[in-house]
Every structure is written in structure tokens, then in C-alpha cells.
Structure 1
Amino acid sequence: MTVPGWTGVSSLALGVGGLLLSLLFLRTPGPKVQVTTTPSSWARLGSGVLLHCRFTVEGSVALDSLRVQWYLGEVKVAWYDRGRSQAQSGASLPSEKELQSGHASMSLATVTPWDKGMYKCVVWHGEHHHQGETRLHLLVGPTISIPRPQAVAGKETSLLCHVWGFFPMDVDVVWLRDGQVQKGFTCSSPQRKLDGTFSLTLTYTFTADLHDSGSVFSCRVYHEVLGQSLQQDVFLDILAAPTVSIPRQPAVVGMKTSLLCHIRGFLPKDVDVVWLRDGQVLKDSTHSSPQMNPDGTFDLTLTYTFTPARSDASSVFSCHVHHAALEQPLQEDVPLVILDAPTISIQRQQGIADAETSLLCHVKGFFPKDVDVAWLRDGQVLQGSTQSSPKRNQDGTFSLTLTYTFTPTHSDAGSIFSCHVHHAALGHPLQANISLNILGHSESPRASKS
């Protein structure tokens, strides 16, 4: 026989037990995930870096339930997905053994400027996940290069300091001279290079002086990556450009002459100098040894000695100078002034007392045509002589005749008549003398030169 109450009790007990069992399973949490990262990471450009990420779960790590994802911004860099691992070039995740130990750090083999930024480490275990973030900061110290400077005294010059390859772009740069900060230098805006680093150029422009050759110029740079300032020193090479002067002096046909070219005020003393004739080098020129001046510059003289001919009058002689301080060769041309010295001949004539007579002085072969001629009597200039216009000869020289007409008397006997010539080709005046004898006396006319 069945007792109805018992049946009800058994059914109630079973229902209550099932409900309690269901509530028990609902309240039991699954394995939770906790991720820990370092807020900031620092790396130098070109080095490797480990971005730390550790995680814990309740219980042991089941690889077939584990997923790890690393992001830079919104870009997935590396990931592990239940036994399979992938990563972009240069990135890597730990081994599965390390993952089972809670290590999910990502390694970057070679840091580039593009690797900086906020990274996110996301760990899934089953249906549970957690994430942490770390920001990668890049540090790249600058490099200095200064082109070997040369400055020409008296001319504006610029010292350049190239500062390159630094990150971030904030940097302090100055030019110093003998340890003192110089004013007036300029700095270009930092330019970003393809690798993400920055570069700039610091420029100091000034007019160089010979005294600057003993100074030390320094480019000093401070950047947050550097423990202390970076500095590069440079000694300035001061150059002095030569000047050329050629004394203007005429040359006389048939007489040895020297062309002088004075090269002055150059530094350093190495210099190439030549004489040219119509653009062709004259090999027989000589130059003195460079002589040092009190200011440290040098002088020398280039000499070309030759015997000119009338044909040299059409030639152009040039002093040609090469020197490190010159952007291009220095050259000074001189057209050679060729002189021809005159000759004198006095036409012999008889003097007859109380009869008009003429003394003729032929001045020949002179150049240029400017000439001063005069008749003298016993050293005194005779007024009233006449001179023909200079006549050009076939060889380009000139000739003329000086005539003195008078009526001699017996008192003129024994007087010395002289034809006196001044010309640029003569070192001193040329003179021809004649002693005039008057007919009726014992002597006839005779001439002499001095």
C-alpha cells in the first residue's frame, strides 16, 4: 500500500535538491585572467626591447584555451592563438613553456622610430580576457659633423654644424668661440628623415680675420638622450687671397728688360705663378722665395727677363696666379710698351759769312713719336728752329728733321752747335755736336756726337 505523503516528500526533496545544484553551478566562477604591464618602456634606436606583459589565471594555463594579442595602436603586431603563433617582422612572443608560466611579453629585435607608441597586450583564457598597456618611448642621441672649414680673410664665411639622427626632435645647439657662446648664429628647423629621426644645421656667419686662425670654434649640442653635452671642436683655416701688381715700365727694342709681377699678402704660402705671353706660358720666368710679412702672410716677385723686339708691341703679357684662397685664378694683363731709341745725324754744311745757312738734324727710328728736340749754341737753346712733323716709317717708328736757319758771321767761327734730343726710350738725353767753321777761315765744318 502506498502512503501518498511519502510520494510527495520524495518529489519535493528531489526538486529542492535539483534547484540547489543548479544554483551551485551558476555561482561558481570560471577561471579569471589578470594582466600586468609596465606603463612605460624606453629603447634606443637600433637596439632590442622587451615589452613586459604577465598574466595570471585561476588554476593552470591551458594552451588550447589561451590567446595572446599585441597591438600598436589598432595594428596587430603579434598573436598566439591556441597553439599557433604569428608576428610581424622583428617581433616575437615567448615559447609555449613561458606562456604556460604567465609570460606574454613581446620582444622587438631592432627598434625603429616607427615602433614608438602605445602598445596593448590582450590575454584571453577561455571566454575571459584582460588587457594592459605600455607606451614605448624611443631615445636616439644626435651625431655632429662639421665640414672642414676654410675662410678667406676679409670675406664673409659660414661655419656649418650638421646635427643629425636624433629623436625626439627637441635639442639645444650653440656655436662657441674659445668657450664663449656666439651671437647671431641661425638654426634650421628640424627635418624628419625617412627613418623618423631628425636633423638640422646650425650656421654661424661672420667675416674672417687673420687673427681667427688661433681660435677654437665649437658646436655644442644637448639632447635628453645624452648624459652630458656633446661637443665638437674645429680650428679654422684662415686663407688670405693674393693681390697682383705689375709696375708699368716701357721696354726698349734691343735692350734687355725685366717684367716684374709682385704677388702680395697670401696665406698659406703655397702659390702657383707664371708669366704668359698671349696666353702661352713663358718657361724662363723666375720667382723669389716667399717672404713672410709681420701679419703672417707672404709676398714674392715673379720676373721675366728678355730682349724685346718691335714685334712684341702687339703682345699681351699676363701674370697668372693660382692660390687656395681664390675661387678662380687671378690674372693681370699688361700690354707691353715697346720703345725705340732715336738716332741723330747732322747734315754737313758749309757756313759762309753773311750768307743764310741751315743746320739740319735728322732724328730717326724713334717710338713713340713724342720727342723733344732743340738746337743749342754753346749750350744755350737757339730760338727759331723749326721741326718737321714726325713721319711714320714702315717698321712703325718715326723720323723728323730739326732745322735751324741763320746768317753766320765771322764771330760764329769756333762755336759749338748741338742737336739735343729727349725721348722716353733714352736713359739720358742724346746729343750730337758740330763745330761750324766760316769760309775764309782755315778750318772747314766738322761734326761730333756725345
Structure 2
Amino acid sequence: MKVSGIFFLLLLHRSCSALNIVAPRTHNALIGSSTLVPCSFTVDSPPINPQFLAILWLYGEKELVRYDNKEKSALPGVSIDEGVASQGNASLTIHNVTIVDQGTYKCVIIYSPNRKVKEIQLNSQAPPKVKLLEKVLLKNRDNHLLCLITSFYPKDITVTWLRNGLTLDGFELGTLQMDTDGTYMINSSITIFSKHNQDHAIISCQVDHVTLPEPIQDAFTVQYGEEPKITMFSSHVGQNELFVCQVNDFYPEAVQITWLMDGKRMEPPRKNASSTFNKWDHFLIPGNHKRNMNVSCVVEHETLESPLIKTLTVADEKNSLNLILAFIATIFVSVLITLISLHFFVYKTKYFQRFQLSPIHILGGWNGETDQKMTMCCTASNCSKEIQVTWIVEEDNGVKLKVTDHQSDEEAGKLLNGGYTVRTNQSERDGLYNAVTVLTFTPNASKHCNMKATCSVLSGRRTKEKTYKWSFNVSRPRLSAPIKFSVDSFGDIVCSVALEKFYPKNIQTIWSCGAGNYQELDNIKSKTFLNHSENTFICQSECQVPQHLFRNPGFRVRVMWTHPSLVQPDSQEVSAKDLPWSPVVGEIIVPSLVHGTEARLQCEVRGYYPNNLQVRWLRTESGKSELYEVCPSDKYKVPEMETTQEPDKTYTSTSSLIVSVSAITEQGAEFICQVTHPSLERPLDKRTGVLTVKGKPAVQNIFQDGKYIVLEVDSFYTQNPLVTWGKADKEFGPYKRIEEKSIQSNTTKSSDGSSCLTSKCDTVKATHMVKLVDTYFKATVEHGALKTPEEIFFVRSKGKVYLLSEKEKKELENITTNY
């Protein structure tokens, strides 16, 4: 932008004061940060007088900042410190530097009458990030290692592989790729044959870049991995089928297990003495399935080039037996066999055995529901006398209760709140007694967190006891709300979730993300604490995800949690469409459209995150509904979108469309600003509405036609201009308005769609035609395309009409301004 002639008052300062300006030739700035482009100046006669000072910053020829005693303005994203500008510091601050900010900046200092300019070349830069994906080797085989280098700019980079600080040869560089934010990424790979003498060797991927004071690297100490072995089996649980997948003897610890049913995805380690790990997972299929199905366990591990898969086929089942009934039936069969054995030994061999008491068994599965009954069972056999059974329950809160099945009504009433019942069935054969006794109760969090149940059996003078310790799994974790989002100070998106009302405390949350292939995240923060009012636990878990990953519409984040109360892990997923920062599109600002001029249409989009906004301009023709994309051309210009980051981390962008206005193409047309963002299900459209084009009237001719004075006005659109006439007998007025009845107007159409107006004034008397006295006239043209009315001054002298000269017109305007 030209700056000469815009500071008229500054040029009135005539005192000569030398001006010196200091600024570097180049300046480097990190992408995503704020940078201060230095520029300072001095005068030889301080202090600096702000009245004669003007500061401008230009990017190429585009004005960024203006500072003088009349105006202080700056485009979004840039600023100067006005508090120190008058002290000689004109440095420019660029907020949230991007790649497009690099280029030539001009620091212009005017201290009237002196003017000086310094050019500074700004270089946008971004340091690389380095990550080794594989950090484990397999013995006596080739190992393929991969190093990812991301988020760097400019693109020149040096990669070196090292073993114990010595350079390795034979590595390869992948294809350089550009990320959506304009930075670059590349990968490097190397194949290493592992040997035993490489124990504890350090393998490094080292990267050097212009932004780094010294090279950076990611490294690991060689450790040998073991490939996992997989075992899979199934078992009936009531009417359901339980599948168990056991993975053994693998190292390192991280492993991922996935379940497939007929090929479709359905969705805690222990260390061995051999320093490898085992892990098991399970999958429960509800009963009453009516067809054969294949259930697969898929295991992924760092030592595997491809996943391990084990598959079992589930046959069609029509009548599954209940597990509790089957268990009790087994007990009775065992009792029957015991009776037969006793008969043989007591009566055939005359040998008497002491009675036996089995361990306590849990009947049925426990799924953590608060209203589910818990049933414990114990059997006694080979008793010489009738049996008396007492269950002793020690609750977690210190209460100790004794429960029998022959208590008095008063005793039963005392235990009613405890909710315990005992049922014992005895049988006698060949003089020996057998019994099955069952304790039933409803678990409670405050009483059964770590309870102990003892079955005490008295037969004659002999007593036997069995004790069972049970940890209470009271309830499943529940989501208090869907996954929440926030933005941290580094611009990463923080995903957080709260799980509540679960017991016991041991819960594990696993975050992963990806587009089809999920990768487990390691930057996880979780904390679990007790809700004292309910005696249950609450877990809060969060992870950080780089914002650029959400630019992929298929990218998803998953949180999965495991807990003893769950048969299989539960999970929740979110994508960019769940983000709370969707763009809000403002109204399109449409200036007055004047034929033959340029007009800038602007549309502001606010409140979106991440910074992956796409804007297209579309148009419709007059009277038609078809949409056409506006492509840059001589008629349409689409400047680069201006984007700034707000204090709340969201982005605001302004998109512009510059149109060379023509009444033929723009009259009745409509422009549409279409916005696309990963958080949107479908694009957002904002319309201008039907456009109206104005034509700026132009006075083409003034002449005399007999007693008429004729004024011709053409090149206007949409409305006729208003022409008024005034007359004065003196050179400088005052002008008296001529009545409408003395004026004739006629409008005609031109080939380009514009109109022409002829206005004739017949107020000249015949005596004026022959008099030698001059008569002065003024014609005023008003139209919507004119910022101010246009006035034409002329004089009739000696019977002829003459336009006043520019000098005479200026003097006349000055005199008649207040009229």
C-alpha cells in the first residue's frame, strides 16, 4: 500500500531532525508461538514528538499496522506496543505464527519530514519430534526398526542411526510428506540382526535440523522379547458360554487382546518366574443362540509381525442346563457314591471313618449387581451322629453373627436385617449321616467388602469347620457423563471421563485412538478415590491427544475400562463430531455493489477447534437454484483466509471474496459461504441473499437547446437519480430551487442494462436570452451509488451556457457550503 500523501499534517513539520532506524535482516520464529520482530529508531533531537511520528508495518505491500497521532489500527494477529512506540521501539508482535506468516516485512518510520524503511525477512520454523516405534529385539533374527520424525519445518533434515554412539549404515529414508498444518513428516527404517553380545547396547535414532541447537534423539537399551503363546478354551456358565483366552510367556508386558465373532469385532498381567508375562481375557456369549458361530481371540504384541489368532466354534444349543442345579446334582451324586463307599467299608470291612467336611463352594456366578443373591454351599459326610450346622459370618464392619436353620422366632427377627438364611438337608443310611448346607444372603457394600464365612458342623462330640474369605464386588462402574473435552496449554485436546459407583477399588482404564487401527495411548492420568457417603469408588481418567489427529474424519478416541464386576471390558468412543467446538458462521458482510467497481465480501467463522477449517465460495445466477463454485480468476479473487487464536484456544477466521461487479452477472445473483470442519456432520452454508447492483451516475453533457438547459446523466442502475435545479442572479448565489413543473425528465435503456436520464430546465425567460447580465445555475444529482450528491455549476452568459472552471467551482463551493 502506498503511504506517500496520507500524512498531510505530518508534512507541515519543517524542522529537520535526523532519523535512524535499526532492524535485523532476518528473523526466525517458531510456528505456534508469538514472536517479536525487532525494529527501533532514534532521532538526533530527542525526545520524540508523537505529533510528527508515524509507524507502519507492511507485509509485502499489505498494510498490517498503522500508528500515528490520528489513527491506531492493526489487523488481527499482529500488534505493536503503543506504550513504547513513542520511545523509539516499533517492534511488531506476531501472534500464533504459522508457515504462511514467513516473508518480507517492512518497518516504515516517518518522523516529519524524514521517512526510512527497513526490510526484515521472517522465517517460520518448527523443530522435529522423534519417536522410535519398536523398542524390543528378537534373538538371532533380523529386526526391523522404524523411526518417525514429524512436525518440522523447513524440510531439510539429517537422520543418523547409532549403536552405542557409533554410526550404523544401511538405513533407509521414506518419502517426505506434508501434514495438514504445512509442517513435514518422514520415517526412517533400519534392519538389525540381534546377537547375544548386543545385550545392553543402546540403539538411537538421531535427528539434526536448523531449529535445533544440537541434535535430538530417541533411544532404547536393547532388550530381548519373547513371542506370546496363546491358549483358548470355553465352558458353560449357566445358560451362557464363557470363552477364556490365555496368553503366556511373552515379553515385554504390553499386549492387546481383541475378540471377534464370525470375523466381526465384539469387543491384568502377571509376571512369571522366567521374567515373561501371562495375560488372560474372557468373553461371555448369552445363552439361547440358535446357530453355529466362530469365536476368535486375536493377540497383538510388539514381537509379532502379524497377530496370533485362535478360533473355537460354538455349536447350536437348544437346552442348556442351569449351572447351580448341575452343581447340586453333582453333590448328590457324590453323596450317593460316598454312602455306597461307607456301606462297603463299615459293614463289609467293619472299619469306621471320621466324617468329612468339604470346602465351601460358591454356587453360580457373581456379576456385581447389588440385588443378586450370594449362595455358599458346604457338604458333610460319614457322620456317626445327627448333624448340627452353624454358619459364622464375620462382616467387614466388625459384626460377627451366628446363623442356623433352627433358630427361634426371636433370633430370626434379630437376624432379619442381616439378611442371612441357612437351609440344611440331612439324610441317613446304614447308620451314617450326610448333609448339604447352604448359606444365602444379599451382598452389601458396607458389610461385605472383605467378609469371612465359616461353616461349623457338629456330629456327636466331633466338630469340623471350613472357612471362606470373600471379597465383595458390589457394582459395576457407571459413566457419570459422556467423554468431556478441553484444551491444554500446548494445544492438545484433553479427553476425560468419570466412572462412579463401583466397588472394589481395582479398576483399569485404557485409552486408545486411531482411524480403523487403534493404538494404545501412554499419556494417561487416572486417580481413584472413595465416595464416603456410598462407600463406593470414583475414577477420573484423562489423556492428551494432539489436535491435528482430529482433522481426519475417521479418527476416533476410545476409553475402555476393566473391573472385577464386568464379564468383559466396557468402553466408549468419540470422534471429531463429538467435539464441543463447532464453527459458528456469521452473516456475510456485503458492501454496496456498484457496477464497474470491486467489492469485498467477508464472512467470519468463530469458535472452532482444531484448526482445520475449509471454506468454499459458491454462487447462484439470477432466478436459478443451481450452485456453482467460485474459482479464482480475473473476475473473482479469493485472498488467503485470516486466522487468529482466541484466549479460550478456539480459532476465528475471516474469509473474503473480491468481486469485479457487473450488473449483468451480479444483479439478482446470490453468493454462499460454505464451511466444512471435522466437528460438523454436514457443511454449513451462509447466504448473502439476492444481490442488487447499483450504477454510479455520470454527467455526460450540459448544453443549451433553445430556451432549455439540458443535462444528460447515464450509466446508472436500479433507480433513477434525482436531479434538482437551482438559479442565482449573482456569481456566488444564493441559489433558489427551481420548481418541479419547470423540469422535464426522460429515461432510456442502454444495451448493457444501464439507464440514461435527460433533464431539461425551461425556467429561462425570454428577456434573459438577450440580456447581457450573467445568470448562474446549479444542477444537483443524487443517487444511492453516490456517497455524496454531485453538484454541477455553470453560467449563462450572453445567451450561451458555460461550465464553471474547476477553480471557480471550488471557490463557489467554499462560499456556498453553509448555504
**TM-score interval w.r.t. the shorter chain?**
0.3 to 0.5
Q: Which of 1 and 2 has higher RCO (CA within 8 Å, sep 6+)?
A: 1
TM-score (norm: length of structure 2): 0.26
Computing the radius of gyration over CA atoms, which structure comes out larger, 1 or 2? 1
TM-score (norm: length of structure 1): 0.44
